Structure 1
């Protein structure tokens, strides 16, 4: 079973589990035990099970990263991760447009995961287990663990 700890900078063409950052050497247990998952088109944090609903394909368009979940029920080929009118993350788009553009910056304590919002970037953060949202401040440190 893949362990969710540490992190890498996502590279287009590879697939990742996205999860709250955990440094195995300093965390209790065996690293992160939850990951970003899709339920229908809703994006949530759920117990790590290693399912296709927790696999995010990294792509790139015009210098921006995008993430596709092929298991999303929004279409037969999956959907792009983006945000809705309430700035809540959803997985419904069929194309990568401005609402599906991401930036990931690696730090010593996990990644700063941001989305393009108009003319600036907003952080992706957990509001609760059922809602990820665009936020002004970095409240969540993220990890990207590559599926191999």
Structure 2
């Protein structure tokens, strides 16, 4: 090797180690990632994927263990919903199971049908204060979707249900996210 050529630093037997390290600890990085600022609102639109979040609790509509519940973002269940359109009606499909968000006869939301029909038809109504009311075609009316507490043993599980207009409404934020299909 010629004297004027640069040499690569030796790491074996060297007293000096050049190790690249992050400028933040993993604890800080994780904490910052979990508390990062999420946009408040996107307009629901067919072909896009959304997280549907309660403005009141910051919890999200989640499909977990065969039930549709309100849960913290990033939990074990599916909380990303692909917005679809059929005959002008919106709907929300779980990309993982290919099942649609809909409601059963008692108004509880579920996610267990492979089609987008009347019980899966939804629309949103924007509010002047921000956010949306999520509405479903229920009987001959449009009714809001809200949250109620189901007590099971010693636990209270927040479930999603079709409510009447006299109930305290819930305001939802639709947060657009990248689809895993893209």
What 5-or-longer segments of structure 2 have no aligned partner?
Answer: 1-32, 150-156
How many residues end up aligned between the 2 structures? Answer: 134
Question: 2:171 maps to what in 1?
Answer: 141
Give the TM-score, by structure 1 length. Answer: 0.81
Q: Does 1:61 align with 2:82?
A: no
RMSD: 2.0
The structure with the larger Rg is 2
Distance 1:133 1:51 in 2: 21
Question: 1:18 maps to what in 2?
Answer: 52
Bigger relative contact order, structure 1 or 2 (CA pairs below 8 A, ≥6 apart): 1
Distance 2:83 2:175 in 1: 12
Aligned 8 A contact 1:21 1:111 in 2: no
Aligned 8 A contact 2:64 2:76 in 1: no
1:2-57 deviations in Å (ceiling 9; x for gaps)? 644521220000000001026xxxxxxxxx64211101331001111177701100
With over 3 angstroms needed to count, the CA separation of the structure-2 counterparts of 1:39 and 1:52, relative to structure 1, is closer
The structure with the largest strand share of the pair is 1
Question: 2:147 maps to what in 1?
Answer: 126
Give the TM-score, by structure 2 length. Answer: 0.67
What 5-or-longer segments of structure 1 have no aligned partner?
Answer: 23-31, 73-77
Distance 2:76 2:125 in 1: 26
For 1:1-148, what aligned pairs fall within 5 Å after superposition?
1=33, 3-21=37-55, 33-49=58-74, 53-72=78-97, 78-107=98-127, 108-128=129-149, 129-137=157-165, 139-148=169-178
